[in-house]
């Protein structure tokens, strides 16, 4: 068992403060923020290092931090951004950690241009389908992914449903929507 | 075109064949729901499998972001619709972890009892449907006869037979019922009058007493059946490394020899429920394995499920014993307006098909800001392609069936 602060310490020693850009160790599930460019190296390190051996990717998902509801916006404490969340655990050491990569909502501030995050499908095979799902539903482009296509929605679907500003289609192939 | 596959069952070595694209599903009976597999075949040999999913996609996560957690419970029923109780439990525990709620002993005993009974019902379908995939019809009828009694018992508990919404954040919707009429299926199997009035726990004990010796019959019917062994043993072999890398969980992982079960290795809020219970975790390899079987093949995955039914029976019996003396109420108040703190949590529980995870982000309001359901079958299904390549077309249902996927959970 290794605590989240030890993991953060080891990562900082290995990759420096710039790559490990933040953390919240007081959260119910402590998380460590990793710079997008370092996520593949950090993942590989966490999987292979004898002290950690995070060989199980429990979950990978995206979430869109934007509060479209003006009533709730006042108490909403996050800047608009998109996150990729990695939940890891180790079969050997029975410990868990959460990694986060924060991305802008749109690349270059151009609406419709998906933000890019390096793919970890080469580290854990489980990431392959999960990244396809995050691309499909949240709209994150995983660079270096072997087969980044939609997985749950039809191939010709427009938009990414789990974006907070997603608008429900009024019509799809003659089927009327809302 | 010749093939390098040295399978003695292939007799058509010199027959000229063409490459063909075959669509299996989405309405194929052995795809366990609406799964479509696009197969690139050459004669009888499958070279490439591409699963196409999403036919049942309802974007349950988006729905969850617009509802208070107790309102989202009915949607979790419809994820793994063969184990609705276990889905309810996973989601409720995640919510309780987020708000920091502790449950009274009685609620916890009810949860163990009900979710293990759900596991029995789910594995019975898994076993019966797997027999059906491989062309034997009797186990399916037998399994559904048994499952019917479990559903009758669940109906007495919560009024529903498939989509229960029984376990909710805070405990359960009702206490276990007092006296009931004996379920008709159980009455006819045990030669009693259906008018007989018994307590619910007695009816359950009678069912377990009746089920336990039947498991030996299933072994005769399937596990030790030569045809069954020929169709499963040594096929679809998955190494432990591959199972870990693909994030496989549940019986699929344990069938590959990884000793891992969240009921023992999970987080405290979940393992705490199982404190004081005595149970084993079946992990391949098994002594009962036929000589043809290798670690991580279809047969091992099937046998893990069969063994888990035995363990679940043990757990249910212990829960029945604990229930009368368990202290506290069957539920704590969890209102629709209960505010979720501005924090986040992720919790996985051991469902019959693997580890179902719920990730909730609160923002101080009563609806979660982000609700995510991580499906176990989603990961388990991802191995279909690497497992099936190079095998015969007829082996595809045997491999997909051994993973025991439910599409409602994959597509969410």
Nearest chain A CA: its distance from B151 CA (Å): 31
What percentage of chain A carries pLDDT values higher than 70? 99
Is B343 in contact with A128 (Cβ distance < 8 A)?
Answer: no
State the pLDDT at residue A27. Answer: 84
For B276, residues 6+ apart whose C-beta sits below 8 A from its C-beta are B322
State the pLDDT at residue B14. Answer: 62
Residues lower than pLDDT 50 in chain B: 1-2
Is A87 in contact with B357 (Cβ distance < 8 A)?
Answer: yes
State the pLDDT at residue B15. Answer: 64
State the pLDDT at residue A59. Answer: 92
Probe site for chain B from A60, A151, A155, A156 (most B CB atoms < 10 A): A151
- Domain B60-383 sits in CATH 1.10.1510.10: no
Q: For residue B115, give the nearest of B154, B145, B149 by alpha carbon.
A: B154
Three-state secondary-structure class, residue A29: coil
CA geometry: angle B152, B158, B162, nearest 5 deg:
60
State the pLDDT at residue A82. Answer: 92
State the pLDDT at residue A108. Answer: 82
State the pLDDT at residue B32. Answer: 73
Q: What structural domains and CATH numbers belong to chain A?
A: 4-176 (3.30.460.80)
Q: At what angle do helices B105-133 and B138-158 cross, to 10 degrees?
A: 160
Q: What is the mean pLDDT of residues A78-100?
A: 90
State the pLDDT at residue B251. Answer: 92
State the pLDDT at residue A178. Answer: 65
Q: What is the mean pLDDT of residues A129-150?
A: 91
Torsion sign across C-alpha atoms B153, B214, B224, B314: positive
State the pLDDT at residue A101. Answer: 92
**Two tokens, residue B88:** 């309810």
Residue B291: Cβ within 10 Å count:
8
Q: What is the mean pLDDT of residues A79-103?
A: 90
What are the C-alpha distances in Å from B114 to residues B38, B118, B176, B303? 38, 6, 10, 23
Q: For residue B319, give the nearest of B289, B288, B346, B279 by alpha carbon.
A: B279
Q: For residue B36, give the nearest of B49, B51, B21 by alpha carbon.
A: B51
Does any CB of chain B come closer than 8 Å to the CB of residue A129? yes
**Numbered residues of chain B with Cβ closer than 8 Å to any chain A Cβ:** 53-54, 57, 59, 61-62, 97-98, 242, 244-247, 258, 260, 265, 267, 342-346, 348, 355, 357, 359, 361, 363-365, 369-370, 372, 374, 378-379, 382, 411-412
State the pLDDT at residue B348. Answer: 92
Q: How far apart are CA A89 and CA A47, in angstroms?
A: 10
State the pLDDT at residue B92. Answer: 93
């Amino acid at each position: 068992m290794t605590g989240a602060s030890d993991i953060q310490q080891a990562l900082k020693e290995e990759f420096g403060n710039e790559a490990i850009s933040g953390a919240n160790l007081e959260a119910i599930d402590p998380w460590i923020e990793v710079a997008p460019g370092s996520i593949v190296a950090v993942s590989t390190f966490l999987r292979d290092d004898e002290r950690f051996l995070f060989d199980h990717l429990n979950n990978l998902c995206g979430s869109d931090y934007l509060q479209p509801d003006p009533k709730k916006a006042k108490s909403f404490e996050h800047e608009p951004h998109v996150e990729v969340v990695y939940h890891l655990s180790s079969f050997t050491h029975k410990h868990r950690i959460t990694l986060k990569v924060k991305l802008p909502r749109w690349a270059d501030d151009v609406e419709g241009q998906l933000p890019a995050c390096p793919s970890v499908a080469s580290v854990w095979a489980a990431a392959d389908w999960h990244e396809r799902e995050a691309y499909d539903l949240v709209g994150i482009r995983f660079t270096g992914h072997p087969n980044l296509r939609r997985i749950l929605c039809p191939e010709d679907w427009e938009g990414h449903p789990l974006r907070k500003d997603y608008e429900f289609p009024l019509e799809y192939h003659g089927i009327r929507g809302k | 075109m010749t093939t390098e596959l040295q399978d003695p069952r292939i007799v058509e070595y010199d027959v000229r064949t063409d490459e063909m694209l075959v669509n299996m599903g989405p309405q194929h009976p052995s795809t366990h729901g609406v799964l479509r597999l696009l197969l690139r075949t050459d004669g009888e040999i499958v070279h490439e499998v591409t699963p196409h999913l999403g036919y049942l996609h309802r974007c349950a996560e988006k729905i969850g972001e617009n509802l208070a957690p107790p309102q989202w419970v009915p949607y979790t029923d419809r994820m793994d619709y063969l184990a609705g109780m276990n889905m309810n439990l996973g989601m409720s525990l995640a919510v309780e972890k987020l708000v920091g709620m502790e449950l009274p002993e009685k609620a916890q005993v009810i949860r163990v009892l009900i979710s293990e009974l759900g596991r029995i019902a789910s594995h019975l379908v898994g076993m019966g449907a797997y027999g059906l995939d491989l062309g034997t019809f009797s186990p399916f009828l037998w399994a559904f006869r048994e499952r019917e009694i479990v559903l009758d018992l669940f109906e007495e508990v919560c009024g529903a037979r498939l989509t229960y919404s029984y376990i909710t954040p805070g405990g359960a919707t009702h206490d276990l019922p007092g006296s009931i009429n004996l379920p008709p299926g159980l009455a006819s199997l045990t030669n009693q009058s259906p008018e007989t009035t018994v307590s619910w726990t007695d009816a359950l004990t009678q069912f377990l007493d009746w089920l336990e010796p039947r498991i030996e019959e299933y072994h005769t019917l399937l596990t030790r059946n030569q045809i069954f062994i020929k169709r499963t043993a040594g096929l679809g072999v998955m190494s432990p490394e591959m199972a870990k890398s693909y994030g496989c969980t549940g019986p699929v992982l344990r069938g590959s020899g990884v000793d891992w079960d969240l009921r023992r290795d999970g987080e405290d809020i979940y393992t705490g429920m199982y404190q004081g219970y005595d149970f084993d975790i079946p992990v391949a390899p098994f002594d009962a394995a036929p000589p043809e079987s290798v670690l991580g093949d279809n047969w091992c995955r099937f046998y893990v499920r069969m063994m888990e039914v035995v363990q679940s029976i043990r757990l249910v019996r212990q829960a029945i014993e604990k229930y009368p003396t368990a202290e506290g109420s069957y539920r704590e108040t969890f209102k629709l307006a209960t505010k979720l703190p501005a924090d986040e949590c992720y919790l996985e529980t051991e469902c019959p098909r693997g580890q179902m995870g719920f990730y909730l982000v609160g923002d101080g309001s009563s609806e979660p800001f982000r609700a995510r359901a991580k499906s176990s079958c989603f990961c388990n299904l991802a191995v279909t392609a690497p497992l099936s390549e190079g095998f015969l077309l007829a082996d595809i249902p045997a491999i997909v069936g051994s993973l025991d996927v439910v599409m409602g959970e994959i597509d969410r």
